[in-house]
């Protein structure tokens, strides 16, 4: 009967083997020879499947090790972003992978990979499925259409997502989650490097900064009320503060620090309030001693 045969074809191999052996041992088989041949065929099929799964697992482990090395030695965010999609595709044996930065439930693609050098148009921005964001907590792994999606956290908050086309087995999902954690750590390290370099650039640009013995690295601004940023600024607010002094807008700061524009906007308000200034121009004039012009487009 077609439906029965279709049902048996969809039955897991191990269960079919067990059921067929039970029938054979219990004498319920109409043709023991044919049933025995079927059992042998099923066992061979299961062995081939297990060998294939083992080879895929070995390939995933090898790709995971290569990727760990690549992101560990990357010196910039761009290098990390470039490494993500090809590595994910290799580990998951996926035809398509997309890496996107998050701003709440809205995602902006940063990079993608398509097998066979095919070109797939990417959306400028897109919303994550409402059913996975309605309670305000984005799952670590979830489905979005034909893709399995992995959440990437920075500083304990969702910052990016990786879309992997197709359904993945448990071992691949575990490997992917390990990779995502490593990518997050690499991004945080790259942001720290960028912060350190930015601070060096700012110190070198501040007029009156003395670097001789006994100066203790403190700038001298005669007659200025606030030569240094307030001590009440948090570590993240200091990052925003340093970027603001360069004239960078919210979108630029969000990309550099790998956070959402909304997060930057919130921190900017706190920085202005704690520095007792009303706008970016006043902040720059007070803390850099330069009345730098900020283009309207950079005040987003």
- DSSP class per residue in 236-251: HHHHHHHHHTTT--HH
Q: Are residues 170 and 83 in the same domain?
A: yes
- How many angstroms separate the Cα of 108 from the Cα of each of 12, 90, 100, 163? 40, 23, 5, 12
Q: Are residues 159 and 114 in the same domain?
A: yes
| Alpha-helical runs (H) found in the chain | 2-10, 13-25, 32-73, 77-92, 130-133, 170-205, 235-244, 250-257, 261-274, 280-287
The reported pLDDT for the residue numbered 65 is 75
Distance, CA of 191 to CA of 39 (rounded, Å): 58
Higher pLDDT, 234 or 11: 234
Cβ 208 vs Cβ 221: under 8 Å: yes
Q: Are residues 230 and 267 in the same domain?
A: yes
- In-domain check, residue 47: yes
- In-domain check, residue 97: yes
Choose the weakest-confidence range: 136-150, 169-183, 266-280.
169-183
- In-domain check, residue 199: no
Q: Which of the four pLDDT bands, split at 50, 70 and 90, describes residue 204? A: low
Q: Are residues 184 and 220 in the same domain?
A: no
Cβ 148 vs Cβ 84: under 8 Å: no
- In-domain check, residue 223: yes
Mean predicted lDDT score pLDDT of the chain: 76
Distance, CA of 49 to CA of 196 (rounded, Å): 51
Q: Are residues 126 and 22 in the same domain?
A: no
The reported pLDDT for the residue numbered 272 is 92
- In-domain check, residue 64: no
**For the stretch 224-248, what's the b/e string if a residue is b when 16 or more beta carbons lie within 10 angstroms of its beta carbon?**
eeebebeeebeebbbbbbbbbbbbb
The reported pLDDT for the residue numbered 53 is 64
Choose the weakest-confidence range: 52-66, 173-187, 190-204, 281-295.
281-295
CATH value at residue 128: 3.30.450.40
* Burial of residue 76, with CB atoms counted within 10 A of its CB: 0-12 exposed, 13-18 middle, 19 or more buried: exposed
Q: Are residues 210 and 177 in the same domain?
A: no
Query: 28-84, pLDDT tens digit by residue?
Result: 666 666 766 777 777 777 777 667 666 666 666 676 677 777 777 777 788 888 888
Q: Are residues 183 and 210 in the same domain?
A: no
Q: Are residues 124 and 226 in the same domain?
A: no
How crowded is the C-beta side of 169, counted as CA atoms within 13 Å? 9
The reported pLDDT for the residue numbered 221 is 45
The reported pLDDT for the residue numbered 29 is 60
Tokens of 263: 């997060």
Of 175, 21, 30, 14, nearest to 94 by C-alpha is 175
The reported pLDDT for the residue numbered 211 is 46
Distance, CA of 262 to CA of 271 (rounded, Å): 14
Q: Are residues 272 and 173 in the same domain?
A: no
Cβ 114 vs Cβ 95: under 8 Å: yes
Q: Is 38 left (phi over 0), alpha (psi -120 to 50) or beta?
A: alpha
Handedness of CA 177, 178, 182, 185 (dihedral sign): positive
- In-domain check, residue 33: yes
- In-domain check, residue 162: yes
Q: Are residues 226 and 276 in the same domain?
A: yes
pLDDT of residue 12 exceeding 50: yes
CATH value at residue 275: 1.10.10.10
The reported pLDDT for the residue numbered 222 is 47
Tally of domains within the chain = 3
- In-domain check, residue 24: yes
Choose the weakest-confidence range: 68-82, 144-158, 264-278.
68-82
Cβ 229 vs Cβ 237: under 8 Å: no
Question: Where in the sequence is the domain holding 293, given as residue range(s)?
Answer: 206-299
Query: 231-261, pLDDT tens digit by residue?
Result: 888 888 888 888 888 888 888 888 778 877 8
Q: Are residues 255 and 172 in the same domain?
A: no
Tokens of 183: 């990518």
Higher pLDDT, 30 or 91: 91
Q: Which of the four pLDDT bands, split at 50, 70 and 90, describes residue 209? A: very low
């Amino acid at each position: 009967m077609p439906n029965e045969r279709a049902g048996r074809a969809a039955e897991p191999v191990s269960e079919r083997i067990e059921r067929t052996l039970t029938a054979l041992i219990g004498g319920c088989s109409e043709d023991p020879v044919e049933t025995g041949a079927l059992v042998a065929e099923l066992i061979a099929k299961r062995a081939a499947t297990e060998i294939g799964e083992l080879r895929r697992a070995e390939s995933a482990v090898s790709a995971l090790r290569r990727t760990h090395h690549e992101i560990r030695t990357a010196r910039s965010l761009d290098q990390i972003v470039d490494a993500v999609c090809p590595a994910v595709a290799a580990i998951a044996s996926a035809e398509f992978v997309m890496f996107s930065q998050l701003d709440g439930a809205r995602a902006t693609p940063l990079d993608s990979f398509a097998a066979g050098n095919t070109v797939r148009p990417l959306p400028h921005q897109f919303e994550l499925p409402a059913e996975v964001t309605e309670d305000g907590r984005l799952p670590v792994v979830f489905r979005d259409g034909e893709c399995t999606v992995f959440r990437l956290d920075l500083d304990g908050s969702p910052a990016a997502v990786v879309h992997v086309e197709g359904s993945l087995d448990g071992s691949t999902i575990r490997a992917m989650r390990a990779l995502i954690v490593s990518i997050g750590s690499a991004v945080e390290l790259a942001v720290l490097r960028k912060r350190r370099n930015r601070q060096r650039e700012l110190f070198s640009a501040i007029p009156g900064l003395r670097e001789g013995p006994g100066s203790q690295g403190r700038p001298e601004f005669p007659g200025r009320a606030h030569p240094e940023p307030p001590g009440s600024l948090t570590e993240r607010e200091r990052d925003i503060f340093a970027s603001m002094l360069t004239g960078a807008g919210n979108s630029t700061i969000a990309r550099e620090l790998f956070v959402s524009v909304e997060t930057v906007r919130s921190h900017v308000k706190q920085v202005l309030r704690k520095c007792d200034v009303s706008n970016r121009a006043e902040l720059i004039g007070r803390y850099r001693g330069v009345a730098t012009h900020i283009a309207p487009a950079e005040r987003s």
